[in-house]
Structures are given as structure tokens and as C-alpha cells.
Chains A and B, each alone.
Chain A
Amino acid sequence: MLEKQLTGHRVDRSICDWFWDHVISQGDSFKSQPVIASPTHYLFQVVREGITFLACTQVEMPPLMGIEFLCRVSDVLSDYLGGLNEDVIKDNFVIVYELLDEMIDNGFPLTTEANILREMIAPPNIVSKVLSVVTGNSSNVSDTLPGATGSCIPWRAAEPKYANNEVYVDLVEEMDAVINRDGALVKCEVYGEVRVNSHLSGLPDLTLSFANPSILDDVRFHPCVRFRPWESHQVLSFVPPDGEFKLMSYRIKKLKSTPLYVKPQLTSDAGKCRVNVLVGIRNDPGKTIDSITLEFQLPPCILSADLNSNHGTVNILGNKICSWTIGRIPKDKTPSLSGTLLLETELERLHVFPTFRVGFRIMGLALSGLQIDKLDLKTAPSRLYKGFRALTRAGEFEVRS
């Protein structure tokens, strides 16, 4: 347990005990409650990869502010520590505290921009670890304030210098889809992010435009993006932070098709249930679809399951989750999963049906069809390397049976 007292008013640690008591007594439903009113405090809760982040307040404040901040903390931590789990946090106690110190001050969020934090607190790496062991000097907080705090562009460090100027733009898309029991596509939308990794010297002013901005349904921007050019011409004009950051996120709704089809068939009779699932490519996107997985939760009334596949591996995990790892779809056959589920003795027929969650990845393609038109730099340095990449993976891709 990690604790950071933020205001002069001390919060008693017993609130955590209270919280854990309730988690134990009420189970998962309590854990999924983001705002909890305890007898003494209001708690905000964010659970990320098994780690619970709690913030508490006694007075009125926007709850989203608390939650959003906790999310940022967890993002920054996982960014710094290269992952988020108990061991990593234990190993880097000092850094976590230092980060929290910088991120929040007297109960108000301060610096949450990862790039700036990086300047103040060096991320852990082997060199610094060795150094600290050797020299005994464990602090890795830089003595100087980052230059950005003084500049008018708070997200950018003063004047970075790079030998080669590079900008990489990644489109990372996630496809959310729901296919109902009749096999009809109920909802299909793409949630995408434009990630930029910029290593530019000076104060670059970039302009990014899309070939087809009209397909964007919703957008959200990094603070560096100027709103007015977007309003008028749908052009992203921004002074990028140094390093990697999420420039914008977008959503494109009402797509017509999914790259994969999943056809589950469940027939239940006489205390048994026959399962047959087919997976195949519906619309060939032109690039290979890999890392295909299929996961579903077996209904609670099932005693045992006997499932086999003609391609990939099938595992049934402890909590009755069945996962089928397919990988790539072979050319010669259609992968299928089949087998029988044995129901509880009293049941004759299955009346609840599992939902299949599909995972996949397509490299080098943005499924939404969004295309970056051009990226311009206003004050072009001598050499500028621009790189574009795209990636699509499955978000909430669900097939009901």
C-alpha cells in the first residue's frame, strides 16, 4: 500500500482498511464502483491491472477530475515503469513517490504531462540503478525546473536539439463491434488515436491534415492542438511536445463491415450443449490479420467442457473462461472450435448463452479508412524525416450467441 498525503489535513489510513473490508465482504461489485461514499470520505477508485488506485475527498469536487487524475497516474506509472504490477511498484517505490509529488500539489493536479515529468524525474533504467547503488545517491530528481514551466507552451521543453529531426505519426485504431444472435452487425465503430513521436529541435509548428476528415464522428485533442483551425478547416495545427504523445483520439461510427466473421452455434439438448464456432475472413483488408483470439465465459451452470479446435490452441482457465488462440487464419481451412458442454444435472437445456470476445490485429492498416493527407512543418529545418504507420486491433468486439 502506498500513501501520499496531499493536503495539510491528514486523511486517516483507516479509510483504506474500511475499503478493503468492504471489498472482501462485497466482492467484485464493490470493486467496480468508481465512486464510493464511505462514512467519512468519498472515495474514487480506479482499478488497473490488479492495482487499485484510490483517491479520497471530504468535500464536493468534480468526480471525473479525481478519476481522470487517477487514470493519468496509472498511465504515467506504467509508462515509467514499463508495466504495472505489484512487484514493479515495490521495486520503484522512490520513483512512484517522486512522481506523485510532482503530479499533485496540495490536492490539486499539477503536472500530469508525461513528457514534462520525464524531464524532472529520470525514468528508471539500469544505468541509474547501478549508479545509485554505487554512489549511494538515490535521488534521480533533476535539480533544475524544466524549462517548460516558464515558457508559454507548458507542454514543451525549452529548446531541444536533435541531430536528425524526425516525426512519426501512428494511427492506432480499435474496432468495437457487436454482432447479435442473428449474425447481424448491431454496432460497428472504430476508436482511433493519432500518436505522434516527435524529435524536432526548436519550436516547430506542425500542421497535420487528413484526406477524409469528414468521416470523423467525434474527436478529442491534446491540449497542444489549436481549436480554431480545426473548427474552420479541420486541420490539426499544433506545437508538439517533445517525445511521444497522443495527439488526438477519434471515433468513427456506423462502419459497414468487420474484417472477420465469427459464427457460433450452440445447440443444447438433454443436458448437453454442442458448441461449434467458425472463424473466417469476411472482407480481406489486404493485410494479414494476426493474433486472432477468441474468448468466452462459460455459463455458470456448466459442469464440464470438452472443446477442440482444428487450428490453434484451446485453454479453459480457472474462472471458466475459455480462450482459443488462433493466430493467423490458414489459407487451406477455416478454423473451427467444436465440442460439448455438460450441463448441471437438473438442467435439460441451456438458456443463457455466452458472448464471444474477439481479438485481432492488423498491421499497417487503419480499418476506418482514415488517411493522413500531409504533415507540414512551418519552419522547416534542413532535414526532416516523417514516418507514418497504422495499426488496427480489436477493441470491444463481441459476438453474441
Chain B
Amino acid sequence: MLLNDRSPAVVGAAAAAFASVCPYNLSLVGRNYRKLCEILPDVEEWGQIVLIGILLRYVIARHGLVKESIMYSLQCTESSHSAKDGSDVDSGLVKESTDLSGTCDSEFVNTVSRCYMEGPDEYLSRSSYANRESFELNGAQFTSGKSNDDVKILLYSTSPLLWSNNSAVVLAAAGVHWVMAPKEDVKRIIKPILYLLRSSNASKYVVLRNIQVFAKAMPSLFAPYFEDFFIFSSESYQIKALKLEILSYIATDSSISSIFKEFQDYIRDPDRRFAADTVAAIGLCVQRLPKMAHICVDGLLALTRQEFVTEDFGFEDQEAGILTQVIMSIKSIIKQDPPSHEKVIIQLVRRLDSVKVPAARAMIIWMVGEYSSLGEIIPRMLTTVLKYLAWGFPSEAPETKLQILNTVCKVLEGATGDDLWTFKKIFSYLIELAECDLNYDLRDRARLLKKLPSCNLVSLGLEEETNDLPENDLLHIVAECILGRQTRKVKPESFSYRYYLPGSLSQIVLHAAPGYEPLPKPCSLLLDDLNVAEGTSEMKRAADYSGTDDYGSSSDPSDEESASDYGSQRSVTESSGSDRGDDSEFTSEGNYNADPLIQISDIGNASENQNGVSQSSPANLGELMSNKALESWLDEQPGSSNPGLPKQSQVRISSARISVGDVGKRVKQKSYSLLDPASGNGLKVDYSFSSEISSISRLLVCIEVFFKNCSSEIISEITLVDEESNRAFDSADKTAVVNESSLTSSDDVPTLVPMESIVSLEPGQTTRRILQVRFHHHLLPLKLALYCDGKKLPIKLRPDIGYFVKPLPMDVEVFIDKESRLPGMFEYARSCTFTDHIVELNKENGDSLLVKDKFLAICESLALKMLSNANLCLVSVDMPIATNLDDASGLRLRFSSEILSSWIPCLITIGVEGKCTDPLNLSIKVNCEETVFGLNLLNRIANFLVEPALS
């Protein structure tokens, strides 16, 4: 990649290209991370924006969140926020890790999960400690300092960008600090962000939207700068509204008085919508700062006084809106502390006469009902008020009428003594009126309410005579529920906001725009992490199998039976009929396994049904079992005997089972000769590439080496060493020296991890050793020296590119997605012929009892061939719909892997053309970013596919 170019100009363009081509391949950044950070201030401004985003993602993926940052503290307080800061992701991780530790008891997983629990930062230090274990660096402190360095350098290099001329750069840099910086350092972004407000109107809006979120999260940050949010009359309504909202968030006791003064000015603004918003903002402010309640309420009351002057004349909608808003604000203020605002309620009630807006009237009336028993004066006023309301009832708006009814009801509810009679009269009068109203709702309400208090009244009025009937009680409760503090449930501010990364488009439009990506999972990009994940998933799989073992063994006999049945009877209908039962079982098992390799495509099923090839699978299996490692298949039989998905399941097994032991049994591992007995004084050395992955370094490839003594004498002191390093230390104690030299060599990964030497080898005895070798080139052989009996024998180890990759499990969607990201120059294709399956098919033809599914055989032999020659992971097998039985065209196998050394994914697709019984034309396609590697891998695959089967 050009990302490691020295010129800032190139880096900027490369960053843009990176973001559009492979935004997920963060590992590419890793190598150049530091340099990128250093170069960042010099990159041209548009590139900076993109580059900052990439670096941030990388750091998160590599190191996780910073413990001291706001994001971390927000996790505790604002757990409801979903997408924004990955807090949920993190907790998810913790959960996941506990799950893992539950299912498999491995030391590794335990440490990792413990690290997760301890929080990202400790986790970070500990895992990187583990990471560096092989380099024998000691002490967690050092590594924690070191790993924090990455974060530090990013923050350090982005901080001057806060002075950039380009507002987008400033906001991007601020976003980094917002997410990553320690809490006390976040301050520094505030002023630059606020300064952005001085740029164009359009960007002002965008910046304010971001500040809105920041301010909500940490009002204290912006509190000293409240003056910046004072409003100019020339600003657009959206900006004004945003500023108001922010002001109401950040108001503090010290600033509220000046803010409140401003608000008073705003209320007189000609834009009445804005004025109404201001009133609402006052309400919000007071809710945050109850101390100001009295002043604010007084101000608001004064406002009501002013407003109705105009109310009598110009009856504008917007004025009405303001008045309603005023009353609403007052209401919300009163709600906080009703007793202290008794007088306010009384004043409002007095105003009823002059308040004409129905909504406002309704609200005042509601307050009367709600606080009817409050204090001393209000209860005494009630009769008059209610009489007044009843008198004016017919001329009220429906909204107000409803509220009057409710209120009277409530009053009745709490009323005692003398007033009761009056209330009752008023109530029945109102009900009568309401029942004849034009409005449906009103009539409904009247009927409902009529019932409620009547019972109440009965029980109250007639005292003991009706010894409280149960329904009465019930009704009473109902009344309580309906008339009670219903508005309490309404939250003052909805928290349904959705949060996205600062500075993103999605944050502005408040939905995830296409292509929006939240921050990557913290620590998802750890060297060690990756290896461990690999290990755990394997282990988990193993555990799953052992879990399903019971099931498998219990159903085995029956399956065996049915298999033979089908074999003899060849009854298509029966087999499919009885296998139905297995079907569901299998799917459940499949779900349980949750193996990413299972990909039941509709295409496969459809073709299955059409071709009617389902009958043969059990028998086919039986045969397979006899041919190959029987017991390894037994476990899986329920799955593979399922007619609905024989291919997938079977293939799945072969791939899921691809660990050393199984491959040894099923798959002919290619073995190469390293030393023949003639030249080796009777010592024969063979080697084969193993699919194991080196635990020491990703640059190492594991090789299984077999030493066999073909002579009649004991051979002792056998070791394999790297010839080049050995040459330098040609001393007596070779092994020891080599040990040292390979460790102390400038390159931190040795060419050959020293093998433990074989002390002695009896005649005819075979010993196996695992070698971990680092090939300098994936085609050139490696020169090694073999020492035995004190003699040195030069040997050459030839690499196999098929084992420079490791399986990368993924499902088909991911595969196709990745494939589509690697078009053009990253895609290489070749075709070749394939004949292996003919042998297999012929064998079956001889077996006259059953017609083996040819497709199956082809797929299987292809997959086996692939898997035994390269360290891959089978993703899916696609079948064409509606083909004739003989035509294998359209078969498609997908394999995925990633390059060991660089984690670059490498995708292989094999398409089949031709008739089943003839040699097939295969088209092999490799998608890989590493062009040279991909091409070589392609050639290698083509070569081994052409080779005839060894058997």
C-alpha cells in the first residue's frame, strides 16, 4: 500500500483510497500507524479528514477504549445509548467472554476473559503483555505505557489540527479527542469547536448538532462558554432552536441569570415560533436548576399578563402557541414542588377569565384538579371555580370541556363535608350537558365518568348502609387509576435520540446513512486476540461436538439401520419420509453448533428436490465410513444423513474436522522427502505441511517432520538447524549457539524455531517433530542443516504456498461481500482440468447397489483435494438449479483463508464446468490484496488440482 509512502501528499490520497476500497482492513494500518500519525499534520486537509477517521478506528480496534476517557465514564451513566460509543459493544464483549469461559476450560480463554472484565485498559496492557511474551519483555507497566503510546501519539498529532482552517478537519480531530482523550483533556476541543460557529451558516448548523450531543453528555464542559450560544437575530430558525436547547442543557446556577435575561429578550423576538421555544427552554432550565424556579415563574406569569393583552385582539396562532408553552412551562415547574407554588396556581386560576386559548385553559383547569387538595386557599376556592367553569361550559372548546369534566371528577373524589353536595350538583349538571354534546369523545367521557364517582358517592354519602361492595372498591381503584397522577408518567424529555459518531452524516440526519460504520469492536485487532479467538473457536467447536456426542451415538444405530435399509430397498419415498424426522433434529443441532460454515442456500435445496438425488446419502455415507476413518464420521452421522442438505453438511464436516489428526486419517497429507536414506546414512526424513498455526509468530509455518531410521544402527543426536545462522557460529556446541543466535538475530522472528533434538533413534523407529519455520520467500526453498551423529548434512526445505495461509471462517454473505471489495487487479483467474472424481465415480459405478450422487462425489473430491493441499476453510458449495444429472456445470465451491503473515484475506472460488463423468474444467479465481501472493497461490492450486490423485 501507498500508505507507507513518505510524501504527505501521497498519504492523503492513499487514505482516501483505503477508505473507499477496504475500510475494514485495519491491520494494514498497523504497520504504518506511527508514521501516519506523525505525518498527519502535513497531509493535505481533505486527506486529513479521512485519515483521522481511519486512525481512530484502528486505535479502537487495536487497543480498545481509553479508560480515562469520557466514553468510558459514559458507559456507567448512560447505558441507554446504543450505537454511539461502543459501550454496549464492550459489555457485549464481556458477556461473550464469560460465555466462552463457560464453555471451554482453557487457560488462554480464562486470561482473556478476565482481561475483558477488568476493563479495556487493563485488558489492553495485559493482553499486550501476553502479546510480547515471546519477546521476553517483562512487566505489565512497561507495556501499558507502550500501548497507551499509540493513543497518546494520535491525540498528540491531532491536537494541532484543532487549529485547522478546515472546519471538517477540526470536527474530525475533535471527534477523536471526544472518544479517546482522558476526561480532563477533552476541554481543549471545546474552544476550537465553538470557534467553528463563526464559520459559514451551513457548517454552524452541523457543528451545533454535534455540540448538542456533547453538551448533553457533559454540560460542564460548555457551561463557561454559554455566551457563545447567545442568539443573533439573523440566524436561521434551526440554529436558534439548537442554541436554545444547548443553552438549556448547560445553564448553571452562576450563568442562569444572564441566560435568563437573554431569554427575556428572545421572547420579544418577531419570530414567534422561536419565542415559544424560548419559553419552553425556560421551563427546561428551571427543571435543571430548581433554585431559579420562583424567578422564572414570576417572569412567566408576567408574560401571561402581557400576552393576553394581545390575546383579546389579534388572535394569532403563534401567540396562542406561546401562551400554551408558557402555561406548560409553569406546569412543569409547579410539578417539581407543588406546595411552594400554591400562589402561582391561584394566580393562574384568577386569569382563567382572560386566557382564551383552549389548550392553555385546559392546562390551568387540569392544575386545579390535580392540586385541588393542596394548601389552604385552593380548596376554599374550588366551589367558586367549579361554578364558574360549569357556567361557561357550553361555550368552551372540546379540549377544555374534557378537562373540566376530569377536574370536577377529581375534586369530587377528594371532596368531603359541605362542598360535596355542591360538587355533586355541578357534576351531574356537567354530565348532562356533556352527554348531549356534539363531540363523540366528550359524550364517551361523560358516560365513563358518570359511573365512576357515582359509586364513590354512594359509598361516601350513604356511609355504612352499603358496606363497601367489592365492585365499589374496584371502581374506586379504577377511578384512582384514571384520574390519578396520570401525567407523572410522561417524561419531561424523551431520550429516544439516536447517537452516532461525532461529525458523521448519520448524526445530522439521525439515522444510519448507508455505509455508516460504528467504531470497531474494541481490541478486535489484537495479534494475540486473533490467535486466541482461533483457538477458542476450535475448542468451542470441539466442546460442541462432545456435547452432541450423546445424541450422535444414541441415534447412530438407527441410522445405521436405516442406511442399510435404504441401501437394499432403494426406496426413494421411504427414505425421504423417514429422514424428515432427522431433518428437524439436524437443523436444531446445526443451530446449536452455530457453525459459521453451515450455509444452507436455497439454491442447494431446490436443486436437491429437483434432482431427486437425496436417496443415496446414507448409503453413501456407509461407504465412506468403510473407506475412511469410520469413527470420525460416526459422530456426525445424524447431520449427514439428512436428505435436505447432504452436500453442505457433509462438506461441512470435512472442513470442520480439518485438524491434524483427522487430516491424517482422511486426507492424504502430501509428504515430501527431505533426506533419503541413501544420502543420510540410513536416516530418512520426510516432512509434510501441517495445518497447525504457529503460536509463536505469524511468520512461522508449521511443518511436521518424520525421522525414520532405516539403517541397522542407532542414530543419535539428530537436530535440524538453520544453515545460514549456523555458519556464523561454527563452534562445538552447535545447538546451544544456534539457539542463541536465532533468538538474538536482528530479526525478531527466527528462521527456524529450534527443534528439540532427538537423542537417539532405534533402527526402524520413527519419530515425529513439529518444526516452525519462517520461509523468507514463499517459493524459494530454505537451506537447513541436519546434524546427526555429529555429521552435517545439508538439506533443502521447499515451501508450499498452500500452507502460508490459515483458514478464515466466514459465511457466504461475508465472503461475497469481501469478494466484491477485491475486484480488478486483486482478482486472478485460471482454469485447469480435474480428474480425481472419475476414479471415485468409477468405483461407485462398480458398486451396483446404489447410484452415488455424482455431484456429491465431485464436491467431495474437490474439497478434499483442496483441503489436503492447502490450509483453507470451506465456505460454501453452490449447486446450479435445474441441470441434468450428468452435467456438473455451475457447481461452485468457495474457500476462504488469510495470509499467515499479514492477515490479508485470500478468497478462492472454484467453478466447475463439464460432465460428471468426464474430466472437469475448473475455473479457479483468487481474490487477494497481495497480488504476488495471490498469483502464486493460484498457480499452486491449479497445479495440485491437475495432479492425479495419489491413491
Contact = CB atoms under 8 A, between A and B. Distances in A.
B163 A220 contact: yes
A218 interface: yes
A70 B167 CA distance: 12
Given A64-B207, A301-B314, A352-B269, A218 B195 contact: yes
Contact of B309 (A219, A349, A396): A349
B728 to A, nearest CB: 42
A357 B238 contact: no
Interface stretch (A40-48, A83-91, A277-285): A40-48
A65 B46 contact: yes
Contacts of A65: 46, 49, 168
Contact of B505 (A60, A218, A398): A60
A311 interface: no
Interface residues of A, number: 72
A228 B227 CA distance: 30
B384 to A, nearest CB: 31
Given A180-B262, A352-B272, A220 B195 contact: yes
Contacts of B167: 64, 67-68
B314 A246 contact: no
B195 A251 contact: yes
Contact of A64 (B165, B195, B206, B237): B206
Interface in A216-261: 217-223, 227-228, 230-231, 246, 249, 251, 253
Contacts of A348: 309, 313
Contact of A34 (B201, B307, B504): B201
Interface stretch (B365-373, B511-519, B865-873, B923-931): B511-519
A68 B166 contact: yes
A44 B202 contact: yes
Contacts of A385: none
Interface string B100-135: 000000000000000000000000000000000000
Interface string B509-536: 1011111110000000000000000000
B514 A60 contact: yes
A140 interface: no
A209 interface: no
Interface string B73-96: 000000000000000000000000
B515 A398 contact: no
B7 A152 contact: yes
Contacts of A387: none
B203 A68 contact: yes
A375 to B, nearest CB: 20
The secondary-structure label for the interface of chain A is: mixed
Contacts of B165: 220-223, 246, 249
Interface in A341-369: 344, 346-349, 351-355, 357
A227 B165 CA distance: 12
Interface in A138-187: 149, 152, 154, 176, 178, 180-181, 186-187
A295 to B, nearest CB: 10
Contact of A67 (B7, B194, B203): B203
B473 interface: no
A334 interface: no
A35 B508 contact: yes
Contact of B238 (A32, A69, A71): A32
B44 interface: yes
A352 B504 CA distance: 38
Contacts of A61: 505, 515
A221 B237 contact: no
Contact of B513 (A60, A222, A344, A347): A60
B700 interface: no
The secondary-structure label for the interface of chain B is: helix
A37 interface: yes
Contacts of B203: 34, 64, 67-68, 71
A381 interface: no
Given A64-B207, A351-B306, A353-B268, A223 B202 contact: no
A90 to B, nearest CB: 24
A353 B164 CA distance: 39
A154 B503 contact: no
Contacts of B201: 32, 34
Given A34-B201, A191-B198, A59 B206 contact: no
Interface stretch (B228-236, B404-412, B636-644): B228-236
B262 A355 contact: no
Nearest to B512: A60
A347 B319 CA distance: 13
B200 A112 contact: no
A97 interface: no
A223 B205 CA distance: 24
A34 B310 contact: no
Contacts of A63: 206, 503-505, 508
A351 B268 contact: yes
A124 interface: no
Range for the number of chain B residues in contact with chain A:
35 or more
Contacts of B227: 186-187, 253
B676 interface: no
B195 A354 contact: no
Interface string A22-35: 00000001001111
Nearest to B310: A351
B56 to A, nearest CB: 12
B172 interface: yes
Nearest to A72: B166
Contact of B313 (A62, A67, A108, A346): A346
B259 to A, nearest CB: 11
Contact of B192 (A70, A218, A297, A396): A218
A133 B201 CA distance: 40
A316 B6 CA distance: 61
Contact of A154 (B44, B237, B504, B511): B44
B195 A42 contact: no
Interface in B152-194: 160, 163-168, 170-172, 191-192, 194
Contact of A68 (B160, B168, B233): B168
B202 A71 contact: yes
Given A218-B192, A223-B165, A59 B46 contact: no
A190 B44 CA distance: 29
Nearest to B515: A59
Contacts of A110: 46
A276 interface: no
B713 to A, nearest CB: 70
A316 B649 CA distance: 83
A109 interface: yes
B509 A35 contact: yes
A400 interface: yes
A124 B45 CA distance: 27
A361 to B, nearest CB: 18
Contacts of B503: 62-64
B289 interface: no
Nearest to A228: B160
A398 B198 contact: no
B777 interface: no
Given A44-B202, A62-B168, A347-B310, A32 B265 contact: no
Nearest to A351: B310
Contacts of A222: 165
A46 B203 CA distance: 9
28 contacts: A32-B201, A32-B237, A34-B201, A34-B202, A34-B203, A42-B509, A46-B200, A57-B505, A59-B513, A59-B514, A60-B516, A61-B505, A62-B49, A62-B172, A62-B504, A65-B49, A65-B168, A176-B232, A178-B232, A180-B261, A218-B195, A221-B163, A251-B195, A347-B310, A349-B309, A352-B272, A353-B268, A396-B232
Given A297-B233, A355-B269, 17 more contacts: A35-B509, A58-B514, A65-B168, A67-B202, A71-B200, A180-B261, A181-B264, A218-B195, A220-B165, A220-B192, A221-B163, A227-B160, A227-B163, A231-B160, A297-B270, A346-B313, A357-B233
Q: 5 closest pairs, A vs B, by CB?
A: A59-B515, A34-B202, A227-B160, A32-B236, A64-B168
